[in-house]
């Protein structure tokens, strides 16, 4: 037994014996940096694979020390030892995959495809090891007599379930099948995401005829001109990045150009060189096979067993309740805008590429409100300052920019996050603007998660990433109201990560059920329309004047009128997700399948040749498979939770501390409903959200 352990340790030592190349590898040997933050400037492509190989060897040696330990299995020498193992591999993997999303290259994407199978093989070797499984079972069977505290008990429970749900109880031939399925799924998910990024970057529309942009607001023209200049083009350029595409679709009356842009976006990866149709088909088939290995009828059943919703019936009933209560109001929204368009000269059926334009025209005519009026009040730096102030009022924390912390791109800034008494809480990286090397959307991630070791807290490194409107030569970054809400949303995730408390990394911060993780982010969006907060954050970047009450009210009124439409849009995404993951037979025609799945929630006309699934990264590469409903589920929670903030005061430190203590700091130590009830005092009801939508 000991020989095997020594062999593994010698293998690690041989890697270490690579000499200066390994000693000087910044992924392996952390330099003297603030808080141990990554040295991005020293990391080169040639460092990654040696670091992965070395870290994998070390992780395997650590696991072998547990597997071949001749002592009787205990909570400490088995469960805790497993939790602590692979720390270096976790560091290397985290840095690589976070940067692969934010600052990728062809070389990084090729390396990701090469290294992913190695990581999956390592994971499978752990979960499918019979000796290790026996040790885990022995500890689990003694759980009632171990006198474990709440956190230790949860770690043991999660570890045991993790082995079961990852194949430990399967027969040998089934284990081999599981290995093949998991390896192929991992590779396909990565390829799916790479295809979406490549397809997004592959399209741009360059306009050289000034008459085609003359009607656009100055901020849209300036952004398009800056994009063209950056590409070495004349004139004005629009891309498929949201911050570029959405303003063009909103203000251009040129239906031909808008159709071209809209079709390019909504047919990404549909039968082109970055085709994801076959990948969608294969991923859903493999997920079904995976579920059946474990005795489930479909993949959603397998996933939902570890979610608040618990089963497909609950999720489908929830989505149908929201759809049934609001679909006619959403269709009324479409009909209202369509009638307005016809009265104003649109002699055609309102198509999806027309929607943003005529919706904006309707808002201007009905509410005397447009984005041009709003954007000057949401200058990015001032918005950031206001959001920091909100966090300080609610939680007493401060954000201090730290130029000594290295960043991975000039656009990125890093901040020390400090408690009111000056104690270090964590590092926050902020990366706001789109670029070709960065995936689309907005998200929170972490370079290091919080845990406690030897009685000392290791604080997290959190990152907020977005694709917001870029500064131009004539103006700073001015956000749309939607971008402002998105900033608040992702900042809520960041607070969840920063406030993490606990011993074990796998149970801290955002490591909670997927249908609970959106509560901290979505509840923060409620401040976006509160006059008291807008007085702080919405200040004209040129005059310094606060947003007038009249304009604030127009924003609120205009959002209310589209609430049903926006609700149905999100519900339809959840329905598509559930359809893909409740199949019991492989899908023959994914185009027809998705069209049928979306039909009950269809509001805008259907356009042939489009397919959401082919670019639906949330469910095919982002961890939300059979979980997209969680956004609406969390809206039910946040609608109810914010009522307490309104009762106690939206800047109430008492309420903020209560939310921090009962929800944000607890991670996955307890069941989410227990956390929610501890904060709110009762369980939430779906009707609260429906009432808010139809109010």
- Residues counted in the chain: 695
Asked whether residue 3 carries a pLDDT value surpassing 60, the answer given is no
The distance from CA 255 to its chain's CA centroid, rounded to whole angstroms, is 33
Q: How far apart are CA 477 and CA 436, in angstroms?
A: 18
Q: pLDDT for 631-687, tens place per residue?
A: 999 999 999 999 999 999 999 999 999 999 999 999 999 999 999 999 999 999 888
Residue 69's SS3 state is: coil
Question: If residue 415 lies in a helix (H) or strand (E), which one and from where to where?
Answer: strand 413-418
Rounded to the nearest integer, the mean pLDDT of the chain is 94
Q: How far apart are CA 202 and CA 284, in angstroms?
A: 26
Are 336 and 358 within 8 A, CB to CB?
no
Asked whether residue 17 carries a pLDDT value surpassing 50, the answer given is no
Query: CA 675, 679, 685, 690 torsion: positive or negative?
Result: negative
Residue 373: φ, ψ to 5°? -70, -30
The string of DSSP letters for 465-523 reads E--PPPP-SSS--B--HHHHHHHHHHHHHHHHHHT--SS-GGGSTT-S-TTTTTHHHHH
pLDDT number for residue 6: 40
Q: pLDDT for 315-362, tens place per residue?
A: 999 999 999 999 999 999 999 999 999 999 999 999 999 999 999 999
Asked whether residue 130 carries a pLDDT value surpassing 60, the answer given is yes
Q: How far apart are CA 488 and CA 495, in angstroms?
A: 10
pLDDT bucket at 559, cuts 50 / 70 / 90: confident
**Mean pLDDT lowest among 367-381, 414-428, 451-465, 568-582:** 367-381
Q: What's the longest Cα–Cα distance across the chain?
A: 84
Give 670: exposed, middle or buried? Use CB within 10 Å, 0-12, 13-18, 19+: middle
Asked whether residue 259 carries a pLDDT value surpassing 50, the answer given is yes
Compute the average pLDDT of residues 685-694: 83
Query: Which region, left, alpha or beta, applies to residue 506 given φ > 0 means left and ψ of -120 to 50 means alpha?
Result: alpha
545 as an active site residue: the answer is no
Following CA atoms 478, 479, 481, 483 in sequence, which dihedral angle do they give, to the nearest 10 degrees? 180
Pairing of the two strands 398-401 and 413-418: antiparallel
pLDDT number for residue 18: 52
Catalytic residue among 83, 360, 483, 490: 490
**Mean pLDDT lowest among 14-28, 200-214, 294-308:** 14-28
pLDDT number for residue 340: 97
Side-chain-facing half-sphere of 402: CA atoms under 13 Å: 21
Following CA atoms 63, 64, 66, 72 in sequence, which dihedral angle do they give, to the nearest 10 degrees? 160
pLDDT number for residue 691: 83
The distance from CA 181 to its chain's CA centroid, rounded to whole angstroms, is 24
Q: How far apart are CA 373 and CA 562, in angstroms?
A: 19
Q: How far apart are CA 198 and CA 106, in angstroms?
A: 10
Encoding tokens for residue 143? Answer: 């759980």
Domains and CATH numbers, the chain: 2-169 (1.10.1370.40), 203-254 (no CATH), 376-564+630-694 (1.10.1370.40)
pLDDT number for residue 688: 77
Distances (CA, A) of 78 to 63, 72, 493, 554, 668: 9, 9, 32, 60, 20
Compute the average pLDDT of residues 540-569: 92
Contacts 24+ apart (CB under 8 A), 132-138: 132/63, 132/66, 132/67, 132/82, 133/163, 133/168, 134/73, 135/66, 135/67, 135/69, 135/73, 135/78, 136/73, 136/78, 136/79, 136/82, 136/160, 136/163, 136/168, 138/72, 138/73
| Nearest alpha-carbon partner for 88 in 15, 2, 142, 167 | 15
Asked whether residue 268 carries a pLDDT value surpassing 80, the answer given is yes
Are 670 and 154 within 8 A, CB to CB?
yes
Asked whether residue 176 carries a pLDDT value surpassing 70, the answer given is yes
Asked whether residue 628 carries a pLDDT value surpassing 90, the answer given is yes
Angle at 199 between CA 197 and CA 204, to 5 degrees: 110
| Nearest alpha-carbon partner for 54 in 20, 83, 90, 28 | 28
Residue 149's SS3 state is: coil
Encoding tokens for residue 664? Answer: 């944000």
Radius of gyration (Cα) for the chain, nearest Å? 26
Distances (CA, A) of 84 to 68, 454, 690: 17, 11, 45
Q: How far apart are CA 134 and CA 636, in angstroms?
A: 42
Pairing of the two strands 456-458 and 451-453: antiparallel
| Nearest alpha-carbon partner for 296 in 306, 285, 305, 284 | 305
Residue 585's SS3 state is: coil
Query: CA 596, 597, 599, 602 torsion: positive or negative?
Result: negative
Tell me what percent of the residues of the chain surpass a pLDDT of 70.
97
Encoding tokens for residue 551? Answer: 């304009």
Sheet hosting strand 398-401, strand order edge to edge = 398-401, 413-418, 424-431, 461-465, 443-448
Side-chain-facing half-sphere of 687: CA atoms under 13 Å: 1
Are 502 and 508 within 8 A, CB to CB?
yes
Pairing of the two strands 424-431 and 461-465: parallel
Are 349 and 606 within 8 A, CB to CB?
no
**Mean pLDDT lowest among 6-15, 136-145, 352-361, 593-602:** 6-15
Q: How far apart are CA 557 and CA 580, in angstroms?
A: 36
Encoding tokens for residue 71? Answer: 């002592």
Residue 80: φ, ψ to 5°? -65, -40
Asked whether residue 7 carries a pLDDT value surpassing 60, the answer given is no
pLDDT number for residue 521: 97
pLDDT bucket at 16, cuts 50 / 70 / 90: very low
Q: Which residues of 210-220 are buried (b: 16+ CB within 10 A; e: fewer)?
A: eebbeebeebb
Compute the average pLDDT of residues 275-297: 98
The set of residues, in sequence order, having a beta carbon less than 8 Å from that of 347 and lying 6+ positions away, is none
């Amino acid at each position: 037994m000991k020989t095997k352990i020594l062999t593994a340790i010698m293998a690690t030592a041989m890697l270490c014996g690579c000499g200066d190349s390994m000693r000087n590898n910044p992924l392996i040997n952390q330099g003297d940096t603030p808080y141990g933050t990554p040295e991005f400037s020293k990391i080169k492509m040639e460092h990654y694979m040696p670091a992965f190989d070395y870290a994998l060897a070390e992780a395997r040696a650590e696991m072998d020390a547990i597997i071949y330990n001749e002592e009787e299995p205990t909570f400490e020498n088995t469960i805790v030892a497993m939790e602590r193992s692979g720390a270096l591999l976790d560091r290397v993997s985290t840095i690589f995959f976070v940067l692969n999303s934010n600052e990728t290259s062809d070389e990084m994407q090729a390396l990701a495809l090469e290294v992913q199978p190695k990581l999956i093989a390592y994971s499978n070797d752990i979960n499918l090891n019979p000796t290790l499984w026996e040790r885990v079972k022995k500890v689990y069977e003694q759980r009632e007599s171990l006198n474990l505290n709440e956190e230790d008990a949860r770690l043991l429970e999660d570890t045991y379930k993790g082995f079961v749900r990852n194949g430990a109880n399967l027969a040998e031939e089934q284990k081999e099948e599981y290995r093949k399925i998991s390896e192929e799924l991992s590779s396909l998910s990565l390829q799916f995401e790479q295809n979406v990024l490549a397809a997004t970057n592959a399209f741009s529309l360059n306009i050289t005829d000034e008459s085609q942009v003359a009607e656009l607001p100055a901020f849209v023209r300036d952004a398009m001109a800056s994009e063209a200049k950056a590409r070495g083009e004349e004139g004005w350029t629009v891309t498929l990045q949201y911050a570029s595409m959405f303003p063009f679709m909103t203000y251009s009356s040129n239906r031909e150009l808008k159709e071209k842009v809209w079709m390019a976006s909504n047919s990404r990866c549909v039968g082109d060189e970055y085709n994801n149709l076959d990948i969608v088909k294969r991923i859903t088939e493999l997920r079904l096979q995976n579920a059946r290995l474990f005795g489930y009828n479909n993949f959603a059943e397998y996933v939902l067993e570890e979610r608040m919703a618990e089963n497909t019936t609950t999720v489908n009933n929830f989505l149908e309740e929201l759809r049934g209560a609001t679909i006619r109001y959403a269709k009324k929204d479409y009909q209202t805008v369509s009638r307005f368009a016809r009265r104003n000269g649109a002699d055609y059926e309102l198509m999806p590429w027309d929607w943003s334009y005529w919706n904006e025209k309707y808002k201007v005519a009905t509410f005397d409100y447009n984005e041009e009026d709003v954007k000057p009040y949401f200058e990015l730096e001032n918005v950031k300052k206001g959001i920091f102030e909100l966090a300080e009022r609610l939680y007493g924390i401060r954000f201090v920019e730290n130029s000594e912390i290295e960043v991975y791109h000039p656009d990125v800034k890093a901040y020390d996050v400090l408690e009111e008494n000056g104690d270090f809480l964590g590092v926050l990286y902020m990366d706001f603007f789109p670029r070709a090397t960065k995936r689309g959307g907005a998200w929170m991630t972490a370079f290091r998660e919080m845990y406690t070791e030897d009685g000392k807290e290791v604080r997290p490194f959190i990152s907020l990433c977005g694709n917001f409107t870029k500064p131009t030569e004539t103006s700073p970054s001015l956000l749309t109201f939607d971008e402002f809400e998105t900033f608040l949303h992702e900042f809520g995730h960041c607070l969840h990560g920063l406030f993490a408390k606990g011993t074990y990394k796998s149970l801290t911060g955002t490591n909670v059920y997927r249908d609970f993780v959106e509560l901290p982010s979505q509840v923060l969006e409620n401040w976006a329309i509160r006059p008291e907060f807008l007085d702080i954050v919405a200040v004209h970047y040129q005059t310094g004047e606060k947003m007038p009450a009249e304009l604030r009210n127009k924003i609120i009124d205009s959002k209310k009128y589209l609430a049903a439409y926006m609700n149905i849009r999100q519900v339809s995404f959840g329905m598509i997700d559930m359809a893909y993951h409740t199949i019991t037979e492989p899908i023959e025609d994914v185009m027809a399948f998705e069209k049928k799945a979306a039909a009950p929630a269809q509001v805008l006309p259907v356009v042939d040749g489009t397919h959401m699934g082919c670019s639906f990264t949330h469910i095919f590469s982002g961890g939300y498979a059979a979980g997209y409903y969680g956004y609406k589920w969390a809206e039910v929670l946040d609608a109810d939770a914010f009522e307490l903030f309104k009762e106690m005061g939206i800047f109430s430190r008492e309420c903020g501390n209560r939310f921090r203590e009962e929800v944000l700091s607890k991670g996955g130590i307890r069941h989410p409903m227990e956390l929610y009830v501890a904060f709110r005092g009762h369980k939430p009801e779906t009707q609260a959200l429906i009432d808010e939508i139809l109010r």
